[in-house]
Each structure stands twice: as structure tokens, then as C-alpha cells.
């Protein structure tokens, strides 16, 4: 059964790669990136061999405990990732959970995440290879720790499957991921500042946190080699027993919920309700084709987890810049003042992938003869409805935290030109090429789609072209540091250049869509 399930997963992966060149290229890039991360982690673990046993113990226990916790958090927040072999597909077959669980375990570890985790875990053996006893202990706990990572993710997602499949939880999850990323960026900066000012204080904190992590279920297995290296054999034995027991409990929990899923497959609840009229904001749009597109896409921004994740993701950069620069004693408050321009710079990337997110629903545009320009205008209106208030709030917050209100003209000039130019470039790039994106309402991080690499290419082209076209305004803003009156000229130039680029993007992008509606529909519908 193990060989059958693993072969089935590899066959599905091979067929998916054959259907799309983008999938193949994206897989190669993903493997290269994962290999680079693994190599850096392993090199860092090897370098710990030349440090003290205490420091090596603290770093390894904390790092691998966080790795184990990461498997659980990403499985809960990014629900459905790497589900090539969905257990519910076996519901109609005469198999029990215990029959397919070994195969699901091995097939899950065969994926890129499982292989990367196993390679990093092997680095723990290299770290403790300074003496035979801790090296042997690391060899013993390696399979236990890796299996615990996988079992923890599967048991967690199985236990909370009914909650995780709801749209409201997915919305919360994507916002939570954005906040987590924001916290990591801010925390890393604060830790760096602490290292520079008080290394001994950081060392004490590291030891205390590592000790707590070692006695948590996430660190039981990984702390065994450290205990052996320090001669604490009794503690090492106790932690080994706890780690094995924890893995067994996770296996039984996973089996319990998997049995239920095989006999009562979870189906998405279908509720019907009264169709409500549009909100006040939606009624602001004119009763035109462009207004209809704007109202429809605005609903996506409110309800679709992919768009909710985009809003949260766009806000990460500016907020991190402001908080880091203000909290760091050596931070540049000038950088904090111009942080909102980052959000404006990224707006076009949302338009560049908007058509792909529509998927097969785009047939309505193609069959009703909608003008491409109306489609472009509608999507620009909905994007401005969502982000214009956020940009205004960020500019006010940035000027408050920077403490220099004299920069408001320059900040507005850069933000306006980047925002308008980005929307114009994104309107054109979005009509230039499309790709199959994760389906509406699904996990935007889900694997098995081909949108990763094309989306990255669209983001790169849009962001680079936006910067190039905004250079005149940026240059005038820089020069205004010596001649203050140039800030007003920069604002005027930014508005004019931005409006011209936006108009050209709508017109040229709309004309391209008029010629390519059938090809666009085929590109976004390919699964």
C-alpha cells in the first residue's frame, strides 16, 4: 500500500508537470530555492560544532522546536497545502485509515517540505558529531523528530478540518500570516539591536527560552542529543520516552479523525440566503459596464481569501519599515516617512493578476462583448476604493511617527506617482498574459497550481516598469532636499505622469483584451 500511494502521488505530480511548462519551471525554481535554504541551515549547524556545548544545545533545541511548531502553524493557517493525495478520495474504497496511513506518511515526506526537513534534521547529526554519544542520540531522534513534524500537521488539520474549511477562518488565517510575518520582521530587527548592545543579556534570554522549548512537546525529541552531550542521561531518557509517546498519540489522533473522514467525507456546506442589495460604497459606482466590474471585483476584495491575503501582504512592508525605523535608535525617520510609497508601488501587481483570479467566470466578459477598456477601468476603480483610504491613513501615520510634517508634499508626490503609474502598468501587464490561479475561495498558497512563477514574473515586470516611469518625480523629490520649491513641481509632475501612464495602460490594455478574449479565457481556465 505504501508503494502504491507514493507511486500515485509521483504520477499525479508528473502528469501535472507535463500539462504546463510553468509548473515545471516553477518546480525547478522552488527546488533550487529550497536547496539554498537547506544548505544555509546545514552550514550553520555545522558551524555550531566549534562553539560551546551549552550554546550549541540552546540554538539547536530552540531552532528545531520552532521548526516543529512551524509545521503545525503552517498546516493550520495555510490549510490544504501540498494535498496531492487527499485522504477523502479514498472514501469510496474498502480501506481503513490504518491501511493508508503509512503510505500517506511516506508520500507526505517525499514532498519538497518533507525532504527539506529531513535534510535539515540530518544537520543535527553533523552538529553533534563532535563525540560519538550525542551523534548516536541525534541519529536515534532524527526519524522521531521528522515524523513528529508531519504527524503534528496531519493530526492538527484533521482535528480542526470542519473549522479550517470555513471561509471566515481562512480570512483570519491569511491576516494572521501577515501579522506573523510582520512580527518576525520587527522582532528580528529588535534582536539585532539587542545583540549589538547587550550580548550577555541575549545569551541569558536564549538559554531560558531554549530550556522552556526543550520541555515542550515540540522540543522533546530535539533536546535528547543536547542532554547526552551534557551528561544528563536520565533527562535524555525521559525526553526520549516523552517524544516517542507524543508521536504515538499523534498517530492515534490522526487515525481517529482519518477514519471519520473515510466514512463521512467532509462536504462544504451549501447555504442559501436572501440576496442583499449593494452597500453604500458599491452604489457610488456608475451604472455602466465599468461600474459593474468595479462592484463585482470589490466583492472579491471583501470576501475572497486570495484578495484578503493580498491586502494584508501589501501592508506588511510599509508597517515594518515604519516600526523598525522608529524603534531602532539608529533608524532613519526619513525612511519611515516615505514608507507608504511601498504600498503604492505594489498596487499594480494586484491588477496584473486580477484576470487570472477570475478563472472560468471570465466567460461572461468574453461572451457579452464587454470592451476591454471597461474591464480595466472597473478593476482600477475597485482597487482604488480599497487602497486609497489605506494609503491616506499610512501617510498620516508615517508623518506622525517620523515627526517631520514638512515632508508631506514630497511623500504625497512619490506616493501618487507610484500609485497611479503602478495601476497603469498593472492594467497593461494584466492584459498581456494570464495563468491558472488557485480557484475562487481557495487557499492562495495551495500547491499544484501553475500561477506561482507567472505571478512572480508579472510582479517583477510591473514593479520594475513602475520604478522606471516614476524616476522623474523621484529625482525632483530628492532635489527638493536642497530646493524646497521643487517638491510642489514633483507633485505636479507625478500627477501628470501617473495619469498619462494610467490612461495608456487602460487604453492599450483594453485594446489587447478586445483582440484576445478567447485566448485569455483559455489561459485562466486551464487546470
Contact 360, 525 (CB under 8 A): yes
Find the mean pLDDT for residues 391-408.
88
Write the Ramachandran bin of 218: left for phi over 0, alpha for psi from -120 to 50, otherwise beta.
Answer: alpha
pTM higher than the cut 0.95? no
pLDDT of residue 164: 52
Q: How many residues make up the chain in this entry?
A: 527
Question: Which grid cell is 263?
Answer: 466514512
- Residues ≥6 apart with Cβ < 8 Å to 351: 379, 380, 383, 423, 426, 427, 429, 430
Give pLDDT tens digits for 425-455: 999 999 988 877 766 555 554 544 444 567 7
Nearest to 398 by CA among 348, 344, 349, 350: 344
pLDDT of residue 453: 66
Contact 315, 343 (CB under 8 A): yes
Find the mean pLDDT for residues 106-131.
84
pLDDT of residue 268: 44
- Residues ≥6 apart with Cβ < 8 Å to 232: none
The CA-based angle 328-334-339, given to 5 degrees, is 85
Q: How far is CA 508 from CA 423, 433, 503, in A?
A: 13, 14, 8
Name the DSSP letter for residue 407.
G
Distance separating alpha carbons of residues 222 and 119, to the nearest angstrom: 14
Give the distance between the most distant pair of CA atoms in the chain: 79
pLDDT band at 170 (very low <50, low <70, confident <90, very high): low
Please identify which residue in the block is written with the cell numbers 491575503: 309
Give pLDDT tens digits for 467-515: 999 999 999 999 988 888 899 999 999 999 999 999 999 999 999 999 9
Hey, how many other C-beta atoms are within 10 angstroms of the C-beta on 479? 14
pLDDT of residue 195: 54
Q: Which residues of 147-179 are buried (b: 16+ CB within 10 A; e: fewer)?
A: bbbbbbbbbbbbeebeebbeeebbbebbbebbe
Torsion of CA 287, 293, 298, 299, to 10 degrees: 100
Query: 23-27, 232-236, 373-377: lowest mean pLDDT where?
Result: 23-27
Q: How far is CA 482 from CA 181, 416, 476, 478, 485, in A?
A: 37, 22, 10, 8, 9
Query: 170-174, 315-319, 368-372, 441-445: lowest mean pLDDT where?
Result: 441-445
Contact 464, 351 (CB under 8 A): no
Amino acid at each position: 500500500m505504501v508503494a502504491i500511494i507514493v507511486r500515485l502521488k509521483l504520477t499525479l505530480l508528473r502528469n501535472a508537470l507535463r500539462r504546463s511548462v510553468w509548473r515545471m519551471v516553477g518546480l525547478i525554481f522552488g527546488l533550487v530555492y529550497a536547496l539554498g535554504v537547506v544548505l544555509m541551515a546545514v552550514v550553520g549547524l555545522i558551524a555550531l560544532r566549534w562553539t560551546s556545548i551549552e550554546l550549541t544545545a540552546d540554538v539547536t533545541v530552540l531552532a528545531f522546536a520552532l521548526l516543529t511548531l512551524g509545521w503545525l502553524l503552517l498546516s493550520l493557517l495555510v490549510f490544504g497545502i501540498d494535498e496531492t493525495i487527499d485522504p477523502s478520495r479514498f472514501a469510496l474504497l474498502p480501506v481503513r485509515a490504518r491501511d493508508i496511513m503509512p503510505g500517506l506518511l511516506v508520500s507526505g515526506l517525499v514532498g519538497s517540505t518533507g525532504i527539506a526537513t529531513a535534510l535539515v534534521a540530518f544537520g543535527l547529526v553533523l552538529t553533534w558529531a563532535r563525540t560519538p554519544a550525542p551523534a548516536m542520540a541525534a541519529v536515534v531522534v532524527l526519524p522521531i523528530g521528522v515524523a513528529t513534524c508531519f504527524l503534528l500537521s496531519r493530526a492538527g488539520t484533521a482535528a480542526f478540518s470542519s473549522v479550517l474549511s470555513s471561509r471566515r477562518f481562512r480570512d483570519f488565517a491569511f491576516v494572521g500570516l501577515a501579522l506573523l510575518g510582520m512580527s518576525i520582521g520587527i522582532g528580528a530587527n529588535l534582536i539585532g539591536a539587542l545583540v549589538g548592545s547587550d550580548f550577555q543579556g541575549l545569551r541569558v534570554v536564549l538559554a531560558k527560552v531554549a530550556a522552556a522549548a526543550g520541555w515542550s512537546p515540540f522540543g522533546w525529541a530535539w533536546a535528547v542529543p543536547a542532554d547526552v552531550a551534557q551528561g544528563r542521561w536520565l533527562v535524555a531518557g525521559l525526553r526520549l520516552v516523552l517524544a516517542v509517546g507524543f508521536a504515538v498519540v499523534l498517530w492515534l489522533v490522526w487515525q481517529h479523525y482519518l477514519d471519520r473522514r473515510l466514512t463521512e467525507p467532509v462536504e462544504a456546506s451549501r447555504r442559501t440566503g436572501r440576496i442583499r442589495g449593494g452597500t453604500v460604497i458599491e452604489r457610488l459606482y456608475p451604472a455602466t459596464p465599468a461600474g459593474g466590474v468595479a462592484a463585482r471585483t470589490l466583492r472579491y476584495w471583501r470576501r475572497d481569501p486570495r484578495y484578503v491575503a493580498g491586502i494584508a501582504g501589501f501592508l506588511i512592508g510599509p508597517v515594518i519599515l515604519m516600526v523598525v525605523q522608529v524603534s531602532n535608535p539608529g533608524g532613519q525617520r526619513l525612511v519611515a516617512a516615505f514608507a507608504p510609497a511601498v504600498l503604492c508601488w505594489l498596487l499594480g501587481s494586484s491588477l496584473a493578476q486580477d484576470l487570472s483570479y477570475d478563472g472560468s467566470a471570465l466567460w461572461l466578459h468574453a461572451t457579452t462583448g464587454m470592451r476591454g477598456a471597461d474591464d480595466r477601468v472597473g478593476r482600477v476603480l475597485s482597487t482604488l476604493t480599497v487602497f486609497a483610504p489605506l494609503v491616506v491613513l499610512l501617510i498620516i501615520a508615517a508623518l506622525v511617527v517620523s515627526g517631520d510634517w514638512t515632508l508631506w508634499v514630497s511623500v504625497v508626490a512619490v506616493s501618487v506617482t507610484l500609485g497611479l503609474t503602478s495601476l497603469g502598468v498593472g492594467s497593461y501587464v494584466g492584459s498581456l498574459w494570464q495563468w491558472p490561479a488557485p480557484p475562487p475561495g481557495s487557499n492562495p498558497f495551495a500547491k499544484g497550481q501553475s500561477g506561482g512563477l507567472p505571478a512572480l514574473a508579472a510582479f517583477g515586470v510591473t514593479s520594475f516598469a513602475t520604478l522606471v516611469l516614476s524616476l522623474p518625480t523621484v529625482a525632483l523629490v530628492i532635489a527638493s532636499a536642497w530646493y524646497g520649491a521643487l517638491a510642489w513641481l514633483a507633485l505636479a509632475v507625478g500627477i501628470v505622469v501617473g495619469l498619462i501612464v494610467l490612461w495608456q495602460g487602460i487604453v492599450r490594455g483594453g485594446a489587447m483584451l478586445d483582440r484576445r478574449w478567447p485566448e485569455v479565457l483559455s489561459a485562466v481556465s486551464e487546470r
